[in-house]
């Protein structure tokens, strides 16, 4: 029998068809809002890459697609959300309409720091599109212009989200069996 990662889930929170349906809706909304603009979709690696590629296909506008990769400076500074850029955007975004695509916004610390860095490049506009919003954990309030789903206070995997780099390839979003999560 081949290994099926779906069997490691205790619960499916959002099935694949609901995700794809919502992504189509978000794409339509973004297509309306950015008509005539110079839209750059910027995904935060690695989690958002799965969401971004589906979202990009649901947008009926000429767009540029780019990625940024960040790393936290370590546990001591993690609480401040201070991050370093591991791989920067390739596009220059000055004067363009930048839409930052994230898999999940939790405390909001990482994203608020990233927004600060990107705002300094003076894009014409800067907004956030997040697939998941775990609002109950928010420390820094930040505007999420496009949100897929609000989720409860549980660690989730799938559709790009990982646990120790695994489960990103699940088509749905779910909660792992507790015995598979160490610590
Ligand atoms: P924040 O700075 O607390 O908002 O951190 C958000 C980042 O933490 C996301 O970009 C994810 O990479 C990661 N993260 C937060 N919650 C989860 C989860 O439930 N599963 C997988 N990754 C998560
Ligand atoms: Mg992330």
Q: For 45-56, what is each residue's pLDDT tens digit?
A: 999 999 999 999
Length of the chain: 183
Give kind and range of the element (H or E) at residue 24.
helix 16-33
Atom 8, ligand 1: which residue's CA is nearest? 106
Give the DSSP letter string of 137-173.
Answer: G-SS----SEEEEE--SS--BBTTB-BTTBSTT-SSE
CB of 163 within 8 A of CB of 146?
Answer: no
Ligand 1 pocket, 81 CB below 6 A? yes
Ligand 1 pocket, 113 CB below 6 A? no
Q: What is the pLDDT along the chain (183 residues), one digit of tens a residue?
A: 788 889 999 999 999 999 999 999 999 999 999 999 999 999 999 999 999 999 999 999 999 999 999 987 655 545 666 788 999 999 999 999 999 999 999 999 989 989 999 999 999 999 999 999 999 999 999 999 999 999 999 999 999 999 999 999 999 999 999 999 986
Distance 1 CA to ligand 2 centre (A): 32
Cis peptide before 46 (omega within 30 of 0): yes
Whether the pTM exceeds 0.75: the reply is: yes
CB of 61 within 8 A of CB of 34?
Answer: yes
């Amino acid at each position: 029998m081949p290994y099926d990662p779906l069997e490691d889930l205790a619960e499916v929170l959002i099935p694949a068809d609901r995700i794809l349906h919502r992504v189509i809706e978000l794409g339509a909304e973004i297509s309306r809002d950015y008509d005539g603009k110079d839209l750059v979709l910027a995904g935060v690696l690695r989690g958002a890459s799965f969401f971004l590629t589906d979202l990009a296909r649901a947008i009926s506008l000429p767009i540029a697609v780019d990625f940024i990769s960040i790393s936290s400076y370590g546990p001591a500074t993690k609480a401040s959300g201070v991050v370093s850029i591991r791989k920067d955007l390739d596009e220059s975004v000055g004067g363009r309409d930048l839409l930052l695509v994230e898999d999940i916004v939790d405390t909001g610390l990482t994203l608020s720091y990233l927004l600060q860095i990107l705002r300094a490049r003076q894009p014409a506009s800067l907004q956030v599109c997040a697939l998941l919003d775990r609002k109950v954990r928010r420390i820094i309030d930040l505007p999420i212009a496009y949100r897929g789903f609000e989720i409860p206070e549980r660690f989730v995997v799938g559709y790009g989200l990982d646990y120790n780099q695994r489960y990103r390839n699940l088509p749905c979003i779910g909660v792992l069996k507790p015995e598979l999560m160490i610590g």
